[in-house]
Amino acid sequence: MKKLLLAIALLVPSLLSNVALAAGSSVPLDKADYDLTDKASLQNGARIFMNYCLGCHQQQYQRYSRTFEDLGIPADLGQEYLQFTGEKVTDYITTPMPQDAAATWFGAPPPDLTLVARVRGADWLYTYLRTFYVDDSKTFGVNNLVFPNVGMPHVLQELQGTPRIAYEDALIDGEMVPQYVGIKSDGNGELSPDEYDKAILDLVNYLEYTGEPSRLSSEKIGKGVLVFILIFFVFAYLLKKDYWRDVKK
């Protein structure tokens, strides 16, 4: 029995490592320096999500009312500019796309994005949304470096422009060899490359927020609790010294 448990203990980490490698990506991830205290960034991220993502994806665990309140958006303005299918302000953020039809069109229903930042991580999302590129062999005409063979269109292409993999010749062992240098837009998007990166960072910031809406308040409470524990420890220590002073007598 001990030998069996030891074998399992040695085997499980190896299996988990293999699974992680299979599910992960070899593309280095860019750092997403998001800021949950930046209301302007969060508001713009919400706008981008509602306009470009909500047509397919939903956030069925997040209410419009909670989003508007936390992001400092007046309810009437939120309903006018961020709600497009007549939902109530107290409703959850759901997509109008029928899920059965979506499964037929895309091969599987588009995933709910309420918790996607907690599952994938901000750096993964930030890099993923900036590494679509033209691939005519794919159904939607695009592929992705971080998520190869992704089954979705590049819905933000009108903002970025048409992205293509860029190469530059480099001298290697006496020969000029094409080397990958990144993904570059054709410049026909509504945003410049820097503006597009900022827009994606705002979207990631918003997705980080929906993954844990109470994060900032929880951190604030946690700091208060630590201060209380520290003060309590000081008084408890002084009380202990005073108590044992009488005991030793």
pLDDT tens string 76-92? 999 999 998 788 999 99
Lowest-pLDDT choice from 43-57, 166-180, 202-216: 166-180
Three-state secondary structure call for residue 47: helix
State residue 85's pLDDT score: 76
Question: pLDDT category, 249, cuts 50, 70, 90?
Answer: low
Domain co-membership, 171 together with 54 = yes
Domain co-membership, 231 together with 111 = no
Domain co-membership, 128 together with 234 = no
> CB 104: neighbour CB atoms within 10 A?
11
Question: pLDDT category, 34, cuts 50, 70, 90?
Answer: very high
| 213 DSSP 8-state letter | T
| 129 DSSP 8-state letter | T
CATH number of the domain bearing residue 147: 1.10.760.10
Domain co-membership, 103 together with 167 = yes
| Mean pLDDT score, 219-246 | 81
Domain co-membership, 105 together with 151 = yes
Lowest-pLDDT choice from 55-59, 85-89, 191-195: 85-89
Q: Report yes or no on 17 lying in a domain.
A: no
Q: Report yes or no on 18 lying in a domain.
A: no
Q: Report yes or no on 45 lying in a domain.
A: yes
Which structural domain, as residue segments, surrounds residue 75? 24-213
| Mean pLDDT score, 158-165 | 95
Question: pLDDT category, 248, cuts 50, 70, 90?
Answer: low
* Cα–Cα distance measured from residue 198 to residue 41, given in angstroms and rounded to the nearest whole number: 9
State residue 200's pLDDT score: 98
* Cα–Cα distance measured from residue 14 to residue 5, given in angstroms and rounded to the nearest whole number: 15
pLDDT over threshold 50, residue 127? yes
| Mean pLDDT score, 143-159 | 94
State residue 25's pLDDT score: 60
pLDDT over threshold 50, residue 3? no
Instruction: Report the chain's mean pLDDT, rounded to a whole number.
Output: 85
Q: Report yes or no on 137 lying in a domain.
A: yes
State residue 185's pLDDT score: 93
State residue 21's pLDDT score: 35
State residue 62's pLDDT score: 96
pLDDT over threshold 60, residue 5? no
Domain co-membership, 233 together with 153 = no
* Cα–Cα distance measured from residue 179 to residue 172, given in angstroms and rounded to the nearest whole number: 10
Lowest-pLDDT choice from 26-40, 140-154, 218-232: 218-232
**Structure tokens that stand for 22 in this block:** 């299979």
Instruction: Give me the residue label for tokens 């995933």.
Output: 111
pLDDT over threshold 80, residue 226? yes
Domain co-membership, 185 together with 228 = no
State residue 123's pLDDT score: 98
Instruction: Report whether 210 contacts 67 (CB < 8 A).
Output: yes
Lowest-pLDDT choice from 1-10, 142-151, 179-188, 226-235: 1-10
Q: Report yes or no on 234 lying in a domain.
A: yes
Domain co-membership, 106 together with 172 = yes
- Looking at the structure of the chain, the number of domains it has is 2
